[in-house]
Amino acid sequence: MKKSENWVEDCNRLARTVRVHCLRMTHRGKSGHVGSMLSMAEILSVLYTRVLRVDPKRPKWAGRDRFVLSKGHGGCAVYAVLGELGFFPKRWFNGYYRDNGKLMGHISHHVPGVEFSTGSLGHGLPVAVGMALAARHAGKTHRVICLMSDGDCDEGSTWEAILFAAQHKLDNLTVIVDYNKVQALGYSKDVLDLEPFARKLEDCHWAVKEVDGHDVVALDEALSKLPFEQGKPSWLICHTVKGKGVSWMENTVSCHYGSVTDEELARALRELEVTQ
Amino acid sequence: MRTLFNKVLVDIAKKDKRIWMILADIGYGEIEPFRDAFPDRWFNCGVAEQNMTGVACGVAMEGNIAITYSIANFPTLRCLEQIRNDVCYHNANVKIVIIGGGLAYGPLGVSHQATEDIAIMRALPNMVVFCPCDFAEADAGVHAMIAHRGPFYYRCGYKKEPPVHKGKIAFQLGKAIQVRDGTDATIFFTGTIGNQVLPAAEALEKRGIHCRVVSLHTVKPIDRKAIVKAARETGAIITVEEHQLQGGLGSAVSEVLCDEGVMPKKFLRIGLPDVYVSKVGTHEWLLNEYGLSTPKIAASIRKLLQ
């Protein structure tokens, strides 16, 4: 996929486009979770342009990499990427979260290109583990990548899967955490502190790396060499900012649920240097 | 029945390489043949039922048939949201097998008594709910479970249950099996409680009450025709289940009768009351205490038909 020499620019442009789509869709649908979408824009743009082997013309292609979004509340951002890549017509964006629309608030496998539906946290990783187990058993070389949130890591089921994946040395499995450090009711450190996050996972026998989750070069560098270590599942902690790209949303708890007003949309688009 | 289940499953899995067993540290003394025959398709998730169900779903999403297996409520209630959101919503080919429904593990206490499972499982879209009464139904049911594409709940017996059916059965998923004929009433049952029901019907026969006895091994999808036919032909309908009365077999049968506008002259649901079991005792003893032994069932039916 490394076609363009200006891939960094292209990647950043796609991330910005994702942010714009998310703001417009959530504004139109009067829905929340926009902060959780904005924090993972670069992660998604790098994944879909540099890492994942997927084909918009053949969404069910057997050799595709499996991408499971466990933080299903951020599904709108995945829809934005999939629409941009041509998995479905971009006019579907108009129906996000609206009557008779095709895009429901939490990510749905009924949308072409979406591997699995989630929405209740702690579901993605166990399923991704099962997919990785089956792939290895069948001798398949596709990878399984699961994108999770801070809140996902509160769930007991996630830790059950962490133990299991390491026990079975699933090195075809990669977890990416959009570690924006804010959850529904507060800052993660005040709710359930995950720190020392990397050490916890290392102690659970995962290979761990940490990057700036808004630095597409750093993301690309980390994800270009999978697994991080043979015989271990890979865990990439992406340090991100909730609400990234919209100044008054950044690192706030309120942008988890709040929807975007007309005035806020106009201001946000100006900040993102969108003229129309 | 659990030994038979495991034997039949291993036999099928020899030919069908899609079959996996995903466990949560339960099944000692029963699951070893599968583990030894297919170690690469057998995984023990440890005491972690949510992960067991999620992993099974992921395995099934890749074209396999994943069986989760544990006792009583462990593979259903602890991981109910995984069953709903992951398995049923995606119509994944996951089979949930419990050993010992109802009061089977009686003296172990309430945690080990699966008394709401049928109601909860049958509320889930895409889920088949199956409760075999004896080895004949259990054997046929394993084959049907594997042949069926999609989520499947299999409520397996835990001991050497005596036969309810005499000889071979004409088995079809979703089709009731008549065990004996009668003209005064029809007793519908599901699962191993059939062992108490059939002798009750035979005892009533000696008192001149002729009961049809029908096994509704598949509670969902239920055999609507058999229910309507029985109500029209025998007038009285009784349901017997080793399960609480809310939402189980009796509820399912009464839903069909109301939907179809067929009102039996007499109707009785026999099952567990709306309480948790507070008494200590063996399976057989508890069945009697809660009105589900042969004499108690016979007495309830006689009273209804007086």
Do residue B299 and residue B245 come from a single domain? yes
Q: Does A162 touch chain B (CB under 8 A)?
A: no
Q: What is the pLDDT of residue A275?
A: 63
Give chain A's domain count: 1
Domain boundary among B156, B191, B220: B156
Kindly state whether A168 is in contact with chain B, defined as any CB-CB distance less than 8 angstroms.
yes
Specify the CATH number for the domain of residue B241. Answer: 3.40.50.920
Which H or E run includes B21? strand B19-23
For A193-246, how does the pLDDT look when each residue is reduced to its tens digit (9 = 90+)? 999 999 999 999 999 999 999 999 999 999 999 999 999 999 999 999 999 999
In a domain, A264, yes or no: yes
Contact B54 A109 (CB under 8 A): no
Give domain status of residue A1, yes or no. Answer: no
What integer pLDDT is reported at residue B27 of this predicted model?
A: 95
pLDDT tens, position by position, B75-132: 999 999 999 999 999 999 999 999 999 999 999 999 999 999 999 999 999 999 999 9
CATH of the domain at B115: 3.40.50.970
- The answer to whether residue B248 sits within a structural domain is yes
Among B45, B64, B82, the residue with its CB nearest the CB of A123 is: B82
Distance CA B230, CA B224 (A): 10
Least confident of A93-107, A190-204, A249-263, B210-224: A249-263
Measured between CB atoms, does B84 come within 8 Å of chain A?
no
Q: Cβ of A126 and B55 within 8 Å?
A: yes
Same domain flag for B128 and B241: no
Q: Percent of chain A, pLDDT > 70? A: 97
The arithmetic mean of pLDDT across residues A15-36, rounded, is: 96
Same domain, B143 and B38: yes
Which one of A119, A120, A131 has the shortest CB-CB distance to B58?
A: A131
Q: What pLDDT does A259 receive?
A: 86
Note whether B35 and B123 are same-domain residues. yes
CB contact under 8 A, B56 and A130: yes
Q: How many angstroms separate the CA atoms of B278 and B281, rounded?
A: 10
**Chain A: closest CA distance from residue B50 (Å):** 6
Residue B279 domain flag: yes
Per-residue pLDDT of B166-200, as tens digits, reads 989 999 999 999 999 999 999 999 999 999 999 99
Domain with B250 in it: 177-305
Residues B46 and B87 in one domain: yes
**In a shared domain, residues B137 and B92:** yes
Cβ atoms within 10 Å, residue A9: 11
pLDDT surpassing 60 at residue B258: yes
Distance of CA A231 to the CA centre of its chain: 24
Tokens, residue B243: 């399960």
Task: State the total domains in chain B.
Answer: 2
Please check the confidence at residue A136 and state whether its pLDDT lies above 70.
Answer: yes
Indicate whether B249 and B293 sit together in one domain.
Answer: yes
**Cα–Cα nearest to B292, from B254, B248, B262, B252:** B248
The confidence band for A167, taking pLDDT boundaries of 50, 70 and 90, is: very high
Is residue A276 a part of any domain in this protein? no
A to B CB pairs, distance under 8 Å: 90
From B156, B191, B219, give the residue that closes a domain. B156
Quick: pLDDT tens for A113-135.
999 999 999 999 999 999 999 99
Flag whether pLDDT at A276 surpasses 70: no
- B160/chain A closest Cα distance in angstroms: 34
Q: Identify all chain A residues contacting B59, using CB atoms and an 8 Å cutoff.
A: 130-131, 133-134
> In whole angstroms, what is the distance from residue B202 CA to residue B181 CA?
11
Cβ–Cβ of B51/A160 closer than 8 Å? yes
Could B58 and A119 be called an inter-chain contact, meaning their C-beta atoms sit closer than 8 Å? no
pLDDT of residue B38: 98
**What is the DSSP code string of B23-59?**
ESS--TTTSHHHHHH-GGGEEE--S-HHHHHHHHHHH
Judging contacts by C-beta atoms under 8 Å, the chain A residues touching residue B89 are: 117
Q: What distance lies between CA A219 and its chain's CA centroid?
A: 13
Same domain, B26 and B125: yes
Question: Of B52, B61, B80, B89, which to mutate for an interface test with A (greatest number of A Cβ within 10 Å)?
Answer: B61
B88 and B23 within one domain: yes
| Surface of A (95-154) touching B: CB under 8 A | 109, 116-120, 122-123, 125-135, 137-138
What percent of chain B stands above pLDDT 90?
99
The CATH number assigned to the domain holding A172 equals 3.40.50.970
Strand partners, B186: B212, B237
Interchain CB distance below 8 Å, B54 and A129: yes
Inter-chain CB proximity A123 and B55 less than 8 Å: no
Residue A3 has pLDDT above 60, yes or no: no
pLDDT tops 80 at residue A2: no
What is the rounded average pLDDT of the residues B144-171? 96
Q: Which of B45, B59, B86 sits opposite A123 (nearest CB)?
A: B86
| Contact (Cβ atoms closer than 8 angstroms) between residue A182 and residue A251 | yes
Q: Is residue B213 part of a domain?
A: yes
Domain limits for position A231: 7-271
Q: Is residue B171 part of a domain?
A: no
Structure tokens at B34: 């599968």
* In a domain? residue A244: yes
CB contact under 8 A, B59 and A130: yes
- Residue B167, pLDDT score: 87
Residue A2 lies in a domain: no
Nearest-5° angle of CA A145, CA A150, CA A119?
Answer: 70
Mark whether B147 and B24 lie in a shared domain. yes
How near does any CA of chain B get to the CA of A270, in Å? 39
Residue B177: name the closest of B117, B139, B136, B233 by CA: B136
Q: Say yes or no: B215 contacts chain A, CB-CB below 8 A.
A: no
Is there a domain that residue B83 lies in? yes
Residue B53 contacts A, CB cutoff 8 Å? yes
B107 and B49 part of one domain: yes
* Min distance A273 CA to chain B CA atoms (Å): 39
Listed by number, the residues of chain A in 19-48 with a beta carbon closer than 8 Å to a beta carbon of chain B are none
**Residue among A132, A134, A168 minimizing CB distance to B64:** A134
CB pair distance less than 8 Å for A135 and B62: yes
Which residue has better confidence, A254 or B20? B20
Asked if residue B48 is part of any domain, the answer here is yes
**Between these two residues, A254 and B239, which has the higher pLDDT value?**
B239
Report the chain A residue with the minimal C-alpha distance to residue B56.
A130
Instruction: Give a yes or no: residue B190 inside a domain.
Output: yes
Do B103 and B221 fall into the same domain? no
Residues of B in contact with A132 (CB under 8 A): 58
Kindly report, residue by residue over B17-49, the tens digit of the pLDDT: 999 999 999 999 999 999 999 999 999 999 999
Is pLDDT of B226 > 90? yes
